[in-house]
Amino acid sequence: MNATSRRLLAVAATTALAAPLLLSASPATARSHDPAKDAAKDAAKLSRKLVREASAGDAYRHLEKFQAIADSANGNRAAGTLGHDASAAYVYSQLKKAGYQVSYDTFDITYIETLAEKLTVTAPTPHDVEIVAMSYTTSTKEGGIAADLAAVPVDATTGCEPADYAAGAFTGKIALIQRGGCDFATKQKEAAAAGAVAAVIYNNTAGSLNGTLGGPDAGKIPTGGITQAEGQALAAEAAKGAVKVSLDIRQLQEERTTRNVIAETKGGRADRTVMLGSHLDSVTEGPGINDNGSGSAGLLEVALKLAKTHEKPANKVRFAWWSAEELGLLGAEAYVNGLTAAQRADIALYLNFDMIASPNFAQFVYDGDDSDGAGAGPGPEGSAQLEKGITDFLDSRNVPHEGTDFDGRSDYGPFIDAGIPSGGTFTGAEGIKSEAQALKYGGEAGIAYDKCYHSACDDLSNINMKAFGINIGVIANAVGTYAHDLSSVTKPAAKAEAARIPLKGGKTGTVSHSRGHTPTA
């Protein structure tokens, strides 16, 4: 029996036996002779109360605070900056006053700040191409470099293997590589080995490409990402003749410290810990009010409302506000890696909330059972039940939804790697909303779910209050339910039918998203 199975069996055995001893039932609450039934009733009562009282309007005041902090701190709240430190202090103080056990979890990072990112085609047809520097890229010299483009032929592993680079064809040139087949770090490494002086990676789906090389030692040559349309156009031009470009990518990288904020209820069984998290840091380019002030504010508001109920949950509830997610999930990774095996086994589940108020939103639920059949596969045992818990709640409120892959690009990643059942919601980043989604959710087809993703305009005006409210309800329902009753996580879950939606050209497929925080292709 694996560790996950043992954890879930222990949860099932202890939920019915221990929960009544830890509940703070009001005198008016009638107790039955069935502990499991009592736990379910307590869970339903608390979840209804939290869903009713935790509102987007109340959570918006935290967004206003995050905006004010960014405004006073060079326009951002990035890990390793005063803006993030002030955001963490605000969250800490709110939770401390509410009565939680609160701590900082400090760790080291390589701080990144992009100083320049510009790509200009100088011949045959001069024009600028929007490019985004990959995190941990090396830098060009000030003023950039000028060279010819050399396009890597497109196949299943474009740019991933030495054989993709014809001998001598890339020496002194800038490699143009399509995304896919391997991580970005491998692509630029192989391009460098072939003699390329820089790498431009273009997306293999609609939308911009924000990526990371994964760590400060990974960068070999200056590397940035561009859209699929721009990349295909450049590749077609290069097939006709020489394409000359100028590339200027420069990035400040220096060692700093940052910290997660961890808060937990004083009561509840520690060996049945219910954990929820969201990342608090922004990118350096903007205040990060949707990404991820929205998840952070929603989580904070539910935590504060839980404290006001004066409930003593049967299970310990732990909330986390991660730092350095934008640098590659570093905060969540540091936290999980710092746990002992026993401490990891104590965590019954993890729910993640990242970008829950995208202005042109779709309602995504992480695909715990892999019913969509796309990408990374199912989450650890129990993840399917977490997905069902969320979709059942959304269905009860007549909110449409669809699955999204566990692609490892938000803070659930380290928990999944540790075998902890995981789930959560997301409302879209730079991916493009389809016509079918526009009919399903409203909004505008053909543009990004969040056109201000990783930009200066990700401010208070970039919040969809309807999406914000829906997902705060999801958080509130989950906290209320799992604080008292974990039985649904242990029950077998029927595999959901994949939500198929029409794509361009009359095809069908499941929807995924691109966050670009981890070194995946």
Tell me the average pLDDT across 481-507: 65
Whether the predicted pLDDT of 11 surpasses 50: no
Tell me the average pLDDT across 3-22: 41
Structure tokens at 69: 């902090």
Largest CA distance in the chain: 82
Whether the predicted pLDDT of 507 surpasses 90: no
Active-site amino acid positions: 325
3-state SS, one letter per residue, for 385-452: HHHHHHHHHHHHCCCCCEEECCCCCCCHHHHHHCCCCEEEEECCCCCECCHHHHHHHCCCCCCECCCC
Cα-Cα-Cα-Cα dihedral sign, residues 140, 144, 147, 152: positive
* pLDDT at residue number 32: 67
Q: What's the burial of 492, exposed, middle or buried (CB within 10 Å: 0-12/13-18/19+)?
A: exposed
Asked if 259 contacts 323 with a C-beta cutoff of 8 angstroms, the reply is: yes
CA distance 343 to 355: 28
Tell me the average pLDDT across 196-203: 98
- Write down the mean pLDDT value for the chain: 90
Whether the predicted pLDDT of 519 surpasses 70: no
CA distance 86 to 496: 42
User: How many whole angstroms from its chain centre is CA 126?
Assistant: 37
CA distance 235 to 175: 10
Please report, for the chain, the start and end positions of each structural domain, with discontinuous segments joined by +.
3-21+39-100+265-491, 112-253
Fold of 3-21+39-100+265-491: Aminopeptidase (3.40.630)
Least confident of 22-26, 195-199, 360-364, 493-497: 22-26
Q: Kindly write down the DSSP assignment for every residue of 1-66, as one continuous string.
A: --HHHHHHHHHHHHHHHHHHHH----TTSPP-S-HHHHHHHHHHHHHHHHHHH--HHHHHHHHHHH
Question: 211 vs 197, which has greater pLDDT?
Answer: 197
Q: Helix 465-484 crosses helix 383-396 at what angle (to 10 degrees)?
A: 120
Tens digit of each residue's pLDDT (9 = 90 or more) over 443-479: 999 999 999 999 999 999 999 999 999 999 999 999 9
Tell me the average pLDDT across 496-517: 35
Tell me the average pLDDT across 276-284: 97
pLDDT cut 70: percent of the chain above it: 88
112-253 maps to which CATH number? 3.50.30.30
DSSP label of 495: P
pTM: 0.84
Say how many Å lie between the first and final Cα of the chain, rounded: 34
CA–CA distances in Å: residue 2 to residues 420, 488, 494: 12, 20, 21
Local confidence band at 112 (pLDDT 50, 70, 90 cut-offs): very high
* pLDDT at residue number 509: 30
CA distance 80 to 252: 13
Tell me the average pLDDT across 93-111: 98
* pLDDT at residue number 210: 87
* pLDDT at residue number 495: 58
Least confident of 81-85, 189-193, 370-374, 414-418: 370-374
* pLDDT at residue number 34: 84
